[in-house]
Amino acid sequence: MDVSTSLGPIQLKNPVIAASGTAGYGLEPAVVTDLDLLGGVILKSVTLEPRKGNPCPRIWETSSGMLNSVGLENMGVRALVEEVLPALEGCGFKVVASIAGETRDEYARIASILEGAPVLDAIEVNVSCPNVERGGLQFGSDPVTAAGVVKAVCQSVSLPVFAKLSVAASDMAAVAEAVASSGATGLSLVNTIPGMAIDARRRRPRLGGVTGGLSGPAIKPVALKAVWDCYRATGLPVIGGGGIHDVDDVLEFLVAGASAVSIGTACFLDPWRLLGIVEALPAALEEVGALSAGELVGSLRI
C-alpha cells in the first residue's frame, strides 16, 4: 500500500503530522516516542523575541476536548535557528516551522531569519492563535490582513508557505482564497476554537488566561467542514486536523480534501497514538478500497 502523500512540492512518506504546539520543537517527544516514523512535525510557533506565555493553569479538560491558554510561550526564532534546527539535522520527518507575529513586518522578519536555515521544509504562518492580544486571530479573521501577512512572508522566504487558519473567521473560505492569491503554497486547518471554562462556585475562569482554544473530538465535525470548504474554494494542498483520534478520522479528513493530517490533542492522552495511526493506515486504506493515500484526497462523493 502506498501511504505517501504530497503537499505541493513536499513529499511525505505518510500523511501523519504532529500538530504545532503538541510536539514541542520536535526533540522533546523523542524521550517517549519515535517521531522519525511520522510524515512530518510542525514545531511550536515562534515569535521574533522569546515569550513567557500566559499564567497557569493553561490547560482545562472539557467534555470531548481540551482548552489551552498557553499564550504563545516560545524560545524565539533565533534560538530555534541556532539551537533546535541543527539538532534536528538527519531526522526522518519533514520539519515545518510555525511563525507568529504582532505586525506584518514582524512576520516577514521572522521568515527572513528562517530563510536558509538547515532542515526546514516549510513554514506555517500562524494567523489564528486564539490566546494573544495582538496579531493571532485578529489577523486571520480578515481576508485582506491575512493575505498581507502571507504575501510578506512569501516575499521573505523561498520555502513553501502554509497559512494556518481558524474557523473563528466569519468567512473562512474567503480568508483561504485571499491567502491563496497572495502566494500560499497550502493551508493548515484548523487552529483551536476560542472558548472558556468557568468555576461557578469561585466565580473564576478555569484558565489563567481567562479564555482559551478548544481542541479534541468536540471540534472534529467543524474542522472537517472547514477542510472541505477551503479545499473546494482554493484547490490548495491542505494539512487538515482538529479532533483526530484514530485512523478512521484520518481517512475522513483525506476524503474531505486534506493531503496530510495534523494530530495533537490525542497525543496528550497517549503519546504513542501517532505511531499507532501510522501503523494502522495501510490496512485502513485497503478496507475502504483505496490503492493509495493520495487516491482518497478530496474524493468525497456528493
Any idea which residues carry the catalytic annotation? 129
Nearer to ligand RRO, 68 or 185 (CB): 68
Could you list the residues that contact ligand RRO (CB under 6 A)?
Answer: 21, 45, 68-72, 100, 126, 129-131, 191-192, 213
State the Cα–Cα distance between residues 59 and 29, nearest whole angstrom: 19
Nearer to ligand RRO, 15 or 71 (CB): 71
CB of 144 to ligand RRO, least distance (A): 21
In this structure, which amino acid lies at residue 258? A
Nearer to ligand RRO, 5 or 69 (CB): 69
Nearer to ligand RRO, 242 or 284 (CB): 242
Q: Which residue is nearest to ligand RRO (CB)?
A: 213
CB of 70 to ligand RRO, least distance (A): 3
CB of 241 to ligand RRO, least distance (A): 12
CB of 132 closer than 8 Å to CB of 72? yes
CB of 191 to ligand RRO, least distance (A): 5
Nearer to ligand RRO, 104 or 232 (CB): 104
CB of 243 to ligand RRO, least distance (A): 13
